[in-house]
Structure 1
């Protein structure tokens, strides 16, 4: 009678360093907050300068007048802010990817959401209202099922949704010249939206520090017996 081979257990996924990714994500969020604060300053400058006698930059029917120096500088601030936001998003996703993988390795539980949702969850309409928060919450709860989810997660997500609603409500939608025209006529909604995004970036940074510290402590506890 042939002997049956003893199956070898599947090795647990290797833990990935998370502190460096957290620092990069926090730095990206700080830059994004500065970029949006700069937009708020330019919105206020436009409002204080007042609309030129020649009217808004977009004259309608495809006609655009030459931009003033202030309007031209706003275009530059807006472009830099958009580039910084992309870098911030990539740094945040890199951190979240590591936190998610480490939670799976430490808990042995499969994530609630499949890997593609790590990216698609932010851009698919409707489900982007809860999946990104769900990924963050799932990574934390899989390690600490008896703990309450840190309140900063809900604060971050609430502020993010308010900022998202501002974009969908055309506060920052449309062309840059249209935003300039709004700054001349009704700047307060623009300033409110700017401040919400800055606050969301700040709470996101605090959330990253909170969850990274908790996960790193669990990683250190796991490493002690082996040491």
Structure 2
């Protein structure tokens, strides 16, 4: 009689995406972006030590620009390379974030608090960009490691990122390179404080990516 009772079937294992390669690529990109921003700081110090030429800042106003010195010209090159490194870092970080978010959904079996669009738009929409990116990663960690405390590096990373972003208004993002050169001659410490926060955020971000990737790798390594 009991022969016709089917044995209970095990629940299907979560369909997790591999994250190790994406994590390594993101950590490498963060390191390169941090080095790029550190190089900007070094060149800004060199500009401040050299002092503004007698001919004045590169942007003379009224659409007039004087020829750049060799040091100013090399700073343009440094900002271009560091900007490219930052762009590559942003792409790698977004790909990694989307992957760990999807894995967290599979592990928890519940719908994430933030929709997939916020993985991308959460960084650029005003106001929500002050906490959405951190929230997405924090939720991914909680779903991947229930009951475990969030890594301290998460709050360090986000705090430094906010400092770099808010202090960078008019410094890193609003001004063109020639205007930043003029600021380096007059107020280099403002630039260096912002650069230091960005470099620190890149270093802390490496630890964040490592921590979240590691907890998801534990699930992927389970038989």
Q: TM-score, normalised to structure 1's length?
A: 0.89
Q: Separation in 1 of the partners of 2:212 and 2:142?
A: 11
List per-residue Cα deviations over 1:134-167 (Å, max 9, x = no partner). Answer: 1001111123332221111111100100001111
Q: Separation in 2 of the partners of 1:113 and 1:12?
A: 24
What secondary structure is seen at the aligned counterpart in 1 of 2:160?
helix
Provide structure 1 residue ranges, at least 5 long, that are not aligned to the other structure.
1-9
Q: Separation in 2 of the partners of 1:13 and 1:215?
A: 11
Aligned partners of 2:145 and 2:215 also within 8 Å:
no
* Aligned position for 1:61: 62
Q: Separation in 2 of the partners of 1:218 and 1:151?
A: 22
In the TM superposition, what is the alpha-carbon distance from 1:126 to its structure 2 partner? 0.6
Q: TM-score, normalised to structure 2's length?
A: 0.91
List per-residue Cα deviations over 1:187-212 (Å, max 9, x = no partner). Answer: 11111111111110000001111111
Give the 5 Å matches for 1:93-132: 93-132=94-133
Aligned partners of 1:97 and 1:118 also within 8 Å:
yes
Give the 5 Å matches for 1:8-157: 14-157=15-158
* Aligned position for 1:171: 171
| Residue 186, structure 1, aligned to residue 187, structure 2 | yes
* RMSD, aligned α-carbons: 1.5
* Aligned position for 2:3: none
List per-residue Cα deviations over 1:66-92 (Å, max 9, x = no partner). Answer: 111111111111111111101001111
* Aligned position for 1:7: none
Q: Separation in 2 of the partners of 1:34 and 1:181?
A: 23
* Aligned position for 1:214: 215
Aligned partners of 1:100 and 1:139 also within 8 Å:
yes
What secondary structure is seen at the aligned counterpart in 1 of 2:140?
helix
Provide structure 2 residue ranges, at least 5 long, that are not aligned to the other structure.
1-10
Aligned partners of 1:141 and 1:147 also within 8 Å:
yes
Q: Separation in 1 of the partners of 2:113 and 2:13?
A: 18
In the TM superposition, what is the alpha-carbon distance from 1:29 to its structure 2 partner? 0.5
| Residue 204, structure 1, aligned to residue 205, structure 2 | yes
Aligned partners of 1:12 and 1:105 also within 8 Å:
no
What secondary structure is seen at the aligned counterpart in 1 of 2:147?
coil
Q: Separation in 1 of the partners of 2:194 and 2:15?
A: 41
